[in-house]
Amino acid sequence: MAGRTSKAAERVTGKAASKPVATKPNLLSGGNPQIPKGYGDAPVQAYIAAMPGWKSDIGRRLDALITRTVPGVSKAVKWNSPFYGIEGQGWFLGIHCFTNYVKVAFFKGAALDPLPPGASKQKEVRYLDIREDDPFDEAQIASWVEQASRLPGEPM
């Protein structure tokens, strides 16, 4: 029936039915992309593509590092943020855009060595804030990711 609708529209307008136009996701406060909840790589890649400016490059680098460091990592977008975890064990890391930085949340970060620099109101959570001109310490981030992936995750 969808084919008929397109042909009917073509007869009425004299033009072929247009293809769906990809719309750019809304940016929430702080420039965080509004991406529908979804599981797998596709929603995470949509989030990364929608990250504004230099943050998208940070998102790509983080995603590649996490995927390399934790083969078979599970991915999802929940609450407009990418999550990374181990199937059956929960989520160990999340990413979120803010106005001047990208926040990496290690959900059991208090157990990492050395501790990620950002404290949280939640006892077990630690953060790494990456600003535009900050060095990207791939070895340290990979170490935290690897350690975090071995800890029990959060069942969000």
Q: How many CB atoms lie within 10 A of CB 32?
A: 25
Residue 7 covered by a domain:
no
CATH number, domain containing residue 110: 3.90.1150.200
Q: With H, G, I as helix, E, B as strand and everything else as coil, classify residue 127.
A: strand
Whole-structure pTM value: 0.83
Amino acid at 38: G
Q: In what order do the strands lie in the sheet with 90-97?
A: 38-39, 74-78, 81-86, 90-97, 101-106, 126-131
% of the chain exceeding 70 in pLDDT? 85
Asked if residue 14 is part of any domain, the answer here is no
The DSSP letter of residue 71 is: T
Provide the domain limits for residue 135. Answer: 30-150
In a domain, 142, yes or no: yes
User: What is the pLDDT confidence band of residue 32, given thresholds at 50, 70 and 90?
Assistant: confident
74-128 pLDDT, tens digit per residue, is 999 999 999 999 999 999 999 999 999 999 999 999 999 999 999 999 999 999 9
| Alpha carbons 156 and 142: distance in angstroms, whole number | 23
Structural domain total, the chain = 1
Cα torsion angle, 49, 50, 54, 59, sign = negative
